[in-house]
Amino acid sequence: MHADRYRPDGILFDPRELVRFGPHMGAHKVALRVVFSILIPLIVLFAIGHLELAGYALLAALASVYGRLAPTRQRLAVQAEFGICQVILIVIGAALAAAETPGWLVVLLTAVVAGLGSVIADARSWRPAGAIFFVFGIGVAASLPTTWAGVGVAALLASSALVLTLVVTLVSGYGKEHLRARRRLAGQPTGSYPAVRRATPNWRLIVTHALMCFLGAGIAGGIALSLNWQHPYWAMVSAVVPFVGATTSGQLIRGSHRVLGTLVGLVLALLLFSWQPQGIVLILLLVALQAGTELVVLRNYSSALLFLTPLTVGMGLLNGPVPVVPLVVDRGLETVVGVAVAAVLILATHRVRHPKATGN
């Protein structure tokens, strides 16, 4: 874990952070890798007439966003680590769906995944940080109707998508690594990022963070389930998202990003998907939205949600036309509830996480 991951701070909410943009930092390269990692499975599944299975492949292809600033070998290693964990969770989620597991048990198990995933991500210093994609992975897989035979299909698709993602990463880095090797031999600047060093884990803070993820996901998912909302994992993801901030103020800012970006993104989702695009048009829209997300996610999280929110709504159309308005309303309500739960936990644990700032 990086040294500044949990640096002490006071609670200072700076609204300027909501509109501040960070540097580009080669985001277009990440976006291109992600595009190839998700476009190929979507095209193949469309060609064989099973686009409804795309969710399993897309969840595994999320590995492509890891290690974006690391050298190729280190990027491959972290993508493989995350990807193997994600494939396992996808299979577990599909098994839960096949067994018609009660909603309360799915929420409980997903909350456990949020806590354990947080420990793994923090201890391994993964970037992106946190258990967000783990919660999303098992939550989405558990929500897709399937049979026991379909569990094997989910395992095959997820594993294949992960292998493809690693191949894309390897191929995209081959030319650059070859050029850097030539420059090193010639004594010229290589233009490469240094290897990311893993800091000594602070287990007290790692455990605290894990408990926050477990409680936040569990409480938010329980509220969504009790209100009969259709996608409890949306509330659970929104509850986990703010916890990846380095400071209490940073976490509150990230939660605000989540709410504001989601609400505006839902308007765009209505414009893009109310006419029920299908087939190649839907595929191209989803790929473009994923690319847009990766182009700005590290620069300004609210802006990324302008792409990410329509993307998650559009994924609901992979199984065929569905009413978009209920999806939009559900996403908005569950986002607000999830972030509200997270904000309470963030403020309640501030003294534990930052004792120096509070004088304890």
Q: Distances from the Cα of 112 to the Cαs of 54, 70, 103, in angstroms? A: 26, 29, 14
Where exactly are the structural domains of the chain? 15-358
Q: What does the pLDDT read at residue 14?
A: 61
Q: What does the pLDDT read at residue 188?
A: 45
In whole angstroms, give the CA distance from residue 309 to residue 328.
Answer: 9
What 3-state class would DSSP assign to 319? coil
- Give the residue from 213, 218, 232 showing the smallest Cα distance to 108: 218
Q: What does the pLDDT read at residue 315?
A: 93
In whole angstroms, give the CA distance from residue 123 to residue 137.
Answer: 20
Q: What does the pLDDT read at residue 182?
A: 47
With contact defined as beta carbons under 8 Å apart, do 217 and 236 qualify?
yes
Q: What does the pLDDT read at residue 3?
A: 37
Burial 47-70 (b: 16+ CB within 10 A, else e): eeeebebbbbbbbbbbbbbbbbeb
Q: Distances from the Cα of 52 to the Cαs of 45, 154, 203, 289, 318, in angstroms? A: 8, 11, 41, 19, 5
Q: What does the pLDDT read at residue 189?
A: 47
- Going 248 to 250 to 255 to 260, the CA torsion angle's sign is positive
Q: What does the pLDDT read at residue 7?
A: 44
150's tokens? 């379909």
CB < 8 Å & 24+ apart, contacts of 31-36:
31/291, 31/292, 31/294, 31/295, 32/172, 32/291, 33/64, 33/168, 33/169, 33/172, 34/61, 34/64, 34/65, 34/290, 34/291, 34/294, 35/287, 35/290, 35/291, 36/168
Furthest-apart CA pair in the chain: how many Å? Answer: 65
Encode the chain (360 residues) as per-residue pLDDT tens digits: 343 343 445 555 566 666 676 666 677 888 899 999 999 999 999 999 999 999 999 999 999 999 887 888 999 999 999 999 999 999 999 999 999 999 999 999 999 999 999 999 999 989 888 899 999 999 999 999 999 999 999 999 999 999 999 999 999 876 555 445 444 554 544 445 555 556 677 888 889 899 999 999 999 999 999 999 989 999 999 999 999 877 888 889 899 999 999 999 999 999 999 999 999 999 999 999 999 999 988 788 889 999 999 999 999 999 888 999 999 999 999 999 999 999 999 999 887 777 765 554
For residue 181, the Cα-to-chain-centroid distance in whole angstroms is: 33
55's tokens? 């969710």
Q: Distances from the Cα of 189 to the Cαs of 23, 179, 186, in angstroms? A: 21, 11, 9
Alpha-carbon torsion angle 215, 120, 151, 216, nearest 10 = 10
Q: What does the pLDDT read at residue 261?
A: 94
Q: What does the pLDDT read at residue 8?
A: 44
Q: Which helix (H) or strand (E) holds 167?
A: helix 148-185
In whole angstroms, give the CA distance from residue 224 to residue 198.
Answer: 37
In whole angstroms, give the CA distance from residue 276 to residue 34.
Answer: 24
In whole angstroms, give the CA distance from residue 297 to residue 53.
Answer: 26
DSSP character string of 16-65 = GGGT-----TTHHHHHHHHHHHHHHHHHHHHHTT-GGGHHHHHHHHGGGG
